[in-house]
Structure 1
Amino acid sequence: MPQQTPNRTIITHANPKSPVSEAYRTLRTNIEYSGIYREIKVIMVTSTQPGEGKSTTSVNLAAAFAQADKKVLVIDADLRKPTLHHYFMKSNRVGLTGLLTDESVKQKAIMETDVEGLSVLTSGLLPPNPSEVLGSRKMDALLEKLRREYDIIVIDTPPTLAVTDSQIMSSKSDGVLLVIDSCKVKRDLAIKTLSNLKHVNARVLGVVLNNLNRKDAESYYYYFSES
């Protein structure tokens, strides 16, 4: 999928008829079919390294699910360099970390967006110990509650090779999408990332390739399903 412009437009909402939006809808469909034998409700999105488009993929995939009449929540679990509040132009004052500390702030933490059916839980204030926060029992309990409230939960996490956060969150998710910049990431790094995810028994649903040549209009992304 071609990367979006720096203004972080949610293209599936702003321009639903574009080829890129259609690619996200196809990705959504492939994920739905891969869940025929095992429910996929919580989808984690990560990348090999920073700047590959994982957050763009997270918000557009979430929007694509919402457009299919799903009740969707997208969570910014990148507690190091969060960006989802910029996409939705929301405050990042409360968010995930605030909700984990105080459940009474839920109405402030989980916010509706301009995309019908899509809510966002931003990261909140950044903690000194992100990995421990994400691996906590409180995080487990929160996700369990949210599973009962939403049809689909998309979780944006940090790059896998940079920190362990995404490996921790993969164990709490039903499936993982790996976003790779086709012009930036070498094959050995991509293989190492997949190896790290498989080492923690993550269910890798597929790989999304960003920055493909636009003339290759029929292959915006490469998708494969894991058994």
Structure 2
Amino acid sequence: MNAFKQDHDSKGLTEKDIDLKAHFNVFKKRYWIIIVMLLLGLAGGYYLAEKNSTPSYETSTRIVVDSDGEFMKTLMVMITDPIIMEKVKDDLNLSKSSAGIANQIKVERLEDSQVILISVTDQDPAVAVQIANTTARVFKNEIVDLLEFEGVQLLSKAALNDEPINQNQTKLLILTLLGGLMAGIGLAYLLESLDGSVKNEQEVEDILGVPILGTVSNMKKKKLTKDKHEQDTQETSEDRGISLILSRKTKEAPLKRANLITYSNSTSVISDQFRTIRASIQFVTAWKKKHVFLVTSPGKGEGKSTMIANLAVSMTQQNEKILLIDANMRKPMIHRIFNLPNEEGLTNVLSNSASFLSALNQTGIGNLDILTSGSEAANPPELLGSASMNALLKEVVRHYDAILIDSPGLLESTETRVLANQCDGVVLVLNQGKTAQNKTAEAGKVLHLAHAHLMGVIMNNR
């Protein structure tokens, strides 16, 4: 019984932690909406405070009406009728219009009684008293002539109230700020409910039915790059040699150190996250038995090239011999990340215009070799689905501990589906908060139809 209770409590705590984490992610993702609404609330508060800077005073008188039901409602409406207001204006010699006086008056019935409260607001407390008492008196007299009704009695006269009702600016600002905060939170949750993207690991597991291999935080350079002095003092002679290899001048873009964080900062949190992914792959597939892995995503711009580049570096840190192949012939990125030439590569090898060894790049990062995409191809699906590609994979798997293949988006190209069928396993990269749930589900169906083995998912930009 106690064991069951402990297990139940543990599950309850876990679910509570998940809920709190989900709420935190909503605030983290849409905090700017809350800030904007807070600022709007503050601006509205200042506007109302300025508008009500002139003090206003309120007083009230009470009358008793010997009636009920619909007739009572009729009498309440008639209190601010132009006929009554004109007489009030004339009696007090006011310069305001009868409509203006009526706007200063509020008539309400006290609960279900026969008592009617006539409240008047004015910038002069004495004038407010005069209008309230005169309105009650004029109404009592005129209603006799108009409706032959004598059931109105004065209960209490209005008294002078010299406390302004609109001078609590602090309270007003607090209320508008709270209103802005509540509106911001409500809008944030509304947008979150309308957002069809994948938001957490549980959603992905429910959609695809595969485990999460790991999550990778947003790779912002300002969060990841070490202090320059710290990097200089920690850099070894071997690191400097690798830097020379990676920074050699080519016509391509320079090495994106912020994206290749497993190389530039192997002690960072993100490097640990890739080590977790590496270990997950080992547990799921025992990749030391020479496996070929395809890393892809449902669409473009979801970070799969960055993921596979860092994963390849992380794998070499276990002294494994890794081959990274860029099979994205439409928009290759691997040569840019590693600052490698791309005149010869996979395209040239498959079309027999270059040998594998001549097209191969040794990075100098552990035992990591890279085969870039090569020259532009007019027929990527035919090349990647050819017997030459199949023969190449069978040959290279004999010389490497693992082969990682980068590819175009799964739902955007035919060749990725062909490649998925040729590989031992597929790793799907999803961009948290960006990749749509329906695209994720569609990617799972495509891999199933291609008879591909989906090993798991990497959640990017968590």
The RMSD of aligned alpha carbons is 1.8
Higher helix share: 2
Corresponding position of 1:8 = 256
Shift of 1:72: 0.4
Residue of 196, 205, 209 corresponding to 2:446: 196
Listed as ranges, the matches of 1:1-227 within 5 Å are 1-4=216-219, 8-9=256-257, 10-36=260-286, 39=289, 41-102=291-352, 105-212=355-462
Shift of 1:209: 1.0
Letter in 2 for 1:170: A
Contact 2:263 2:313 in 1 (8 A): yes
Give the secondary-structure state (helix, strand or coil) at the position aligned to 1:12. helix
Shift of 1:104: 5.3
Q: What CA distance in whole angstroms lies between the structure 2 residues aligned with 1:59 and 1:168?
A: 22
Contact 1:45 1:176 in 2 (8 A): yes
Q: Which runs of 5+ in 2 are unaligned?
A: 1-215, 222-254
Letter in 1 for 2:405: I
Percent of residue pairs bearing the same amino acid type: 36
Q: Which runs of 5+ in 1 are unaligned?
A: 213-227
Normalised by the length of structure 2, the TM-score is 0.44
Normalised by the length of structure 1, the TM-score is 0.88
Q: What CA distance in whole angstroms lies between the structure 2 residues aligned with 1:109 and 1:96?
A: 8
Answer with 180-189 or 129-138: which moved more: 180-189
Q: Which has the larger radius of gyration?
A: 2
Letter in 1 for 2:370: V
Can you list the C-alpha shifts for 1:163-214, whole angstroms capped at 9, x where unaligned? 11211101111110000111211111111111111111111111111111xx
Shift of 1:108: 2.5
Letter in 1 for 2:449: H
Shift of 1:103: 7.2
Contact 1:55 1:84 in 2 (8 A): yes
